[in-house]
């Protein structure tokens, strides 16, 4: 069995048929439709919240909002942009709500579960790379929310500047400057930890 990507599950025809049925309140069609977006939505939520627990809440909230709003979805805009805009808003609302509470643990950003690794890697190299990824996730988590959202969408999720402007409901200039400043901050943070990041052997 092959893990299906977004494009494979929902060709434009299949997607619009599912959207039509979901608009009529058909929960089964809605589920099928959203399965194609679930993994990326969760990844965005996880990068924004920094832990699995909050990411799960955000995913649920985003799915509910999409389900309730889908009958008003205008077919002329991209469904995926619309979906990620709602997901991002659900995350930002959740983060604002949690601001009054103690900051969430960044431990949830650890790699989890079993996954294949490069068999040729030394244990030290492996541990260092894991540590670097962990620190980078933490630094991303420390960026202001608007900046974080733009950087995550661009540098991890690979959206174009135009798509990001659509998702964040901001103009291109703002998006570009947020991404640029976000990257600059990340560079500074990485530069501040040469003992971890400047290792020629890793």
49 binds other proteins (CB under 8 A): no
What does the alpha-carbon distance between residue 184 and residue 182 come to, in Å, rounded to a whole number? Answer: 5
The number of beta carbons lying within 10 Å of the beta carbon of residue 100 is: 6
Name the region of 83 (left: φ>0; alpha: ψ -120 to 50; beta: rest). Answer: alpha
Determine contact, residues 151/48, Cβ cutoff 8 Å: no
Q: Cβ of residue 149: shortest distance to other proteins, in angstroms?
A: 15
Closest CA to 141 of 152, 132, 127: 152
Residues 134-173 that bind other proteins (CB under 8 A): 136-137, 154-158
82 binds other proteins (CB under 8 A): no
Given 7, 172, 191, 193, the residue binding other proteins (CB under 8 A):
191
Give the footprint of other proteins on this chain (CB under 8 A). 1-3, 25, 27-28, 30-31, 38-40, 42-43, 46-47, 52, 55-56, 59-60, 63-64, 67-68, 107, 110-120, 123-124, 126-127, 129-133, 136-137, 154-158, 176, 179-180, 183, 186-187, 190-191, 197
């Amino acid at each position: 069995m092959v893990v299906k990507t977004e494009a494979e599950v929902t060709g434009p025809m299949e997607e619009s048929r599912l959207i039509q049925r979901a608009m009529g309140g058909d929960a089964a069609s809605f589920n099928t439709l959203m399965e194609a977006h679930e993994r990326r939505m969760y990844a965005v939520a996880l990068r924004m919240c920094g832990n699995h627990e909050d990411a799960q809440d955000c995913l649920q909230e985003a799915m509910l909002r999409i389900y309730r709003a889908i009958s008003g979805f205008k077919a002329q805009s991209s469904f995926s942009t619309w979906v990620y805009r709602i997901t991002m808003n659900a995350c930002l609302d959740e983060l604002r709500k949690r601001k009054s509470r103690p900051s969430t643990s960044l431990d949830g950003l650890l790699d989890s579960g079993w996954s294949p690794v490069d068999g040729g890697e030394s244990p030290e190299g492996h541990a260092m790379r894991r540590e670097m990824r962990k620190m980078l996730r933490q630094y991303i988590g420390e960026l202001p929310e608007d900046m974080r959202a733009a950087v995550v969408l661009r540098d991890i999720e690979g959206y174009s500047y135009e798509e990001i402007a659509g998702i964040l409901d901001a103009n291109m200039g703002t998006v570009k400057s947020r991404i640029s400043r976000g990257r600059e901050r990340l560079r500074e943070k990485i530069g501040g930890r040469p003992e971890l990041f400047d290792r020629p052997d890793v």
